[in-house]
Structure 1
Amino acid sequence: MNDIVNFNKAKKARVKQDAKSQAATNRAKFGRTKGEKAVEKAEAAKVVRLLDGAKREV
């Protein structure tokens, strides 16, 4: 026989787990040092320059 499930507790547990995973994502995305952010910004600018330099004028 199956166990009885309290839907309120199951919903709260699911919401809590979703919040934890969102927090982990935000830590990875926003929890960087100033130097790491600068390096990432420089790499993005380099990619943009490379792509703009490869465009053909028509």
Structure 2
Amino acid sequence: TLTFTLSLARPEDRANLLAMTPHGWRASAERRAQVIEAAEPLRVTVSMRYDYFVLQ
């Protein structure tokens, strides 16, 4: 598992993150705007798990 923290300071980056996650689709337009336009950077933790299979 790969885990790291991102700090999203630019509104475009926060908008892109919301567009690719279910949170962005479930949140109201007002809440999305609050997150995108916030003065403070949005800090998120990213965690990815890689699984792979080997053909034998």
Could you say which TM-score interval applies, normalised by the shorter chain?
under 0.3
The structure, 1 or 2, with the larger RCO (C-alpha pairs under 8 Å, 6+ apart) is 2
